[in-house]
Amino acid sequence: MIGNLSLMTILYRLPALFVGFTFHEYAHAWVADRLGDDTPRLTGRLRLDPFAHIDILGMLMLLIAGFGWAKPVQVNPGRMRGRHAMLWVSLAGPLMNLIIGFVFTGILVAMLFYGAYGNIWYNIVSEMVSINLVLCVFNLIPLPPLDGYNIVKNFIHPRNLKAMWTFEKYGPLLLMALVLLGFTSGILSNIVGFLLAHMVELFVWLFTLLGL
């Protein structure tokens, strides 16, 4: 047991963590590279190697405490083309997790249609859905150092950016306090549940329509 997790739950969850963290950070790196910044390429982040992106302590914290992190992708905004380049780089990670969650929701519904409920593959796919949706929603919280903060920051007038420095300094502590005190868990559960319910409805409708 680790915390309240059984060994089997950890084994089901690990593939989802590897996939979720790796593709999330790779998406940041890929978009930055496409927009003209070769920093991710030069630092070895433009590859789908889990060990290039995963922070072992961050992954263990996600298993134990419900929040974690990967190695942040270093980028140089000055090398990127376009006024809103950092907006697209910041959006790329959560969007990738949403896409993965959507695809695996389809697989999960297909497994239910064909009676594959409760086996090892069903449990792994189920974790793939939930972990990726949690990573998507959690990273959109508008607190530093999360992607949501960088997205909001993109719309702040340059003359007000200095006022954000203090917030950036203490924001991570505020985020950690909110997570440890449980303030984020209810919000995450509600949003993830909402997304999952509607994606399941979509795939059930689609499979029924196709007569599968």
Q: Mind telling me the catalytic residues?
A: 25
- Residue 129: CB atoms within 10 Å: 25
